[in-house]
Amino acid sequence: MRHRTLTAMAAMAAVLMISGCTSSNVDTTKTTAIQPTAKDVSASDLEQGKAQFREANYGLAEKHFRKAVELKADNAEAWMGLAASYDELGRFDFADRAYGQLLKVAGRKPQIVNNMGYSQLLRGNKKKARALLLEAKAHMADQTVVDANLALLAKS
């Protein structure tokens, strides 16, 4: 009799353990609390970088542009913003590196050459600035920005 009681208790314990493992009471409702991420995660940092640059917060702009290029290394606009931020911060060594990467990603476009010329202007390298700005002017359809930079060069 004692053997039957132990067997019955063991069977009951097994049934309880098995029924405890069923998933019929699991909530399978989908949640909307976590939004899906955008495909281009660097876009947010790019936009933040541009906003900070417009507000003359060059340190914060540099941070966001740097993160954008770390997330998407072929983002020419982010490289341009990063180089310009370094120029405004007076970190010309880093600006040169950023312009180098930008040239690899986007090629030698007039707008890039114009920015490189402005970078040289900020450094006081008038001869190099003039050469770069004239190169940019020769290939730009709208020469307004280049002309303004050349005017700045003439005043310095």
CATH number assigned to the domain comprising residue 53: 1.25.40.10
Three-class secondary structure of residue 74 per DSSP: coil
Domain that residue 129 falls in: 108-156
Pair (149, 92) in one structural domain: no
Band of residue 42 on the pLDDT scale cut at 50, 70, 90: confident
> Distance between CA 45 and CA 51 in Å, rounded?
10
Q: What percent of the chain has pLDDT above 90?
A: 72
Range 26-46 average pLDDT? 64
DSSP state of 37: P
Statement to judge: residues 117 and 153 lie in one domain: yes
Q: Which residues contact 131 (CB under 8 A, 6 or more apart)?
A: 117
Nearest-angstrom CA–CA distance, 138 and 113 = 11
pTM over 0.85: no
CA pair distance 130, 142, nearest whole angstrom: 18
CA R_g for the chain? 31
Residue 151: pLDDT over 70: yes
Distance in angstroms (rounded) separating the CA atoms of residues 77 and 107: 12
User: Are 97 and 112 found together in one domain?
Assistant: no
Do residues 100 and 146 both lie within one domain? no
Give residue 45's pLDDT. Answer: 93
> Are 81 and 91 found together in one domain?
yes
pLDDT digits (tens, 9 = 90+) for 83-127: 999 999 999 999 999 999 999 999 999 999 999 999 999 999 999
Number of domain units in the chain: 2
pLDDT score, position 37: 54
Distance CA(121)–CA(152), nearest Å, equals 8
Residues 100 and 52 in one domain: yes
CA-based nearest residue to 111, from 86, 85, 145, 82: 145
Strand, helix or coil at 148? Answer: helix
Task: Specify if 49 maps to a domain.
Answer: yes
Over residues 55-68, the mean pLDDT reads 97
Would you place residue 20 in the very low, low, confident or very high pLDDT band (cuts 50, 70, 90)? low
Q: Report CA 102 to chain centroid distance, whole Å.
A: 14
